[in-house]
A and B are shown apart, each in its own frame.
Chain A
Amino acid sequence: MVQLLFFYFALVVIGLGLRIVTCKNPVHSVLLMLVLFFHMAGFYLLLNAEFLAAVQVIVYAGAILVLYLFVLFLVNLREEVKMSPFIEKGKWLGIVGAVALFITFLRGVMNFTLGPHGKYTIEKVQQLTHTKAMGEAIYTTYILPFEIAGILLLVAVIGGLALARKENKGA
């Protein structure tokens, strides 16, 4: 059953990924990306990471994709669907580069051995509940990265405001 679910998610994610990068209309790509994010959340559920699945749906599908859709509607897309989505002579170069990269990765995966196991076994995480275990890890061991991530989001907010503001010639 788990294997069947894994193959379903893998098939959908890879197929949708290929469709997204070759689709002519960017709006279709963004909407297909939404489906892909839900299937990524399914992967997280298979990996016993319920909290990450929820965050994936809320942040990626709920916030980031809406941002993409808004910007797509702000820019002009009338002539976009009439021309080729790829740069000139870039398609075959891109395919060769990506396949070469994949072969390199595959060699790494073949020779991969797992390191020593940590203390959060599946039973322990299930007993604690995943959200609580994640919270304990984030707010004790990883408190400094957490604060830095907060500052990064503040910087992004200020940067986004400064970029989107209309330049006033007189002032």
Chain B
Amino acid sequence: MVHLSWYLTVSAMLFCIGVFGFLTRRNIIMMLLSIELMLNSVNLNLAAMSHYMEDLRGQVMVFFIIAVAAAEAAIGLGIVVTLFRNYRSVHTEDITKLKG
């Protein structure tokens, strides 16, 4: 028998790895990939909850989150392509126009 808290712990670990990647990577594409990691960990959390509560609400939510993740990847990568066209770089330290 796999306990629910094991799933929650794995999901929390994966989420923290995603947070670490988002905060520290300099490449914007890698930051977006870290967001995907975090979304995946939330999905795992919802699916596990749904299974142990014997209800389908969580799994329906996972379905919608996957749709939102697809939209987010499309828009985010479109922004990255536009940034690269204007700055010739996808690194966070090169994009400082708002800083002056």
Which A residues have a C-beta under 8 Å from some C-beta of B? 2-3, 6, 10, 13-14, 17-18, 20-21, 26, 29-30, 33, 36-37, 40, 43-44, 46-49, 51-52, 55-56, 59-60, 63-64, 67-68, 71-72, 74-76, 80, 84-88, 90-91, 93-95, 97-99, 101-102, 105-106, 109-110, 112, 114-122, 125, 133-134, 137-138, 141-142, 145-146, 149, 152-153, 155-157, 159-160, 163-164
Contact = CB atoms under 8 A, between A and B. Distances in A.
Contact of B60 (A114, A138, A163): A138
Given A18-B17, A75-B90, A118 B53 contact: yes
Q: Secondary structure of the A side of the interface?
A: helix
A19 B92 CA distance: 21
Interface of B: 1-2, 4-10, 12-21, 23-27, 29-30, 32-34, 36-37, 40, 43-44, 47-48, 50-57, 59-60, 62-64, 66-75, 77-82, 84, 88, 90, 92-93
